[in-house]
Amino acid sequence: MAKNENLKRKLKAADRRRARRPDSTLASAETGADVSTTADEPDVAGLCVSEILRPRGRHVLADVSVIAALKGCLSGSVPDAADAENLYVNLNKIAKRDDVSNAAFRDAIGSLLKTATSHRDERDGGAFVRFLNILSS
């Protein structure tokens, strides 16, 4: 019985040491996977921002139109306003590209929508678009 208890104690100590040790093979595998996916996929959020900031004649999109288009992309419903509908169509063209995954597109749209709602100003209808313009320049 003493050998069995000694063996159990040594195995438990080894398990504790293993639990504290960083797994270097797992870390290198994760890093390698991240590098390959980022090399294959474009910056989807950057593509969406460039589409939002693309010149449209003499006027700039209002935050309301941008938010409506972003919400439409997440829900799959077409916005009612003409500016929002045009942006919605152009953003969906990005989603249909071969090198853009659906998950990456939804993540980018979700993060842009979250940022848009946090930078929206009731008194100023273009605060978010100006914020994107400053970030992109």
Q: Write down the pTM of the prediction.
A: 0.69
Give whole-number Cα distances, 116 to 85, 124, 126, in Å: 17, 13, 10
CB atoms under 10 Å from CB of 34, counted, come to 10
Q: 127-136 and 63-75 are packed helices; what angle lies between their axes, rounded to 10 degrees?
A: 80
Cβ proximity of 73 and 10 under 8 Å: no
Give residue 9's identity as a one-letter amino acid code: R
Q: How confident is the model over 23-56, as pLDDT tens digits?
A: 655 554 555 555 445 557 789 999 999 999 988 7
Least confident of 3-7, 70-74, 130-134: 3-7
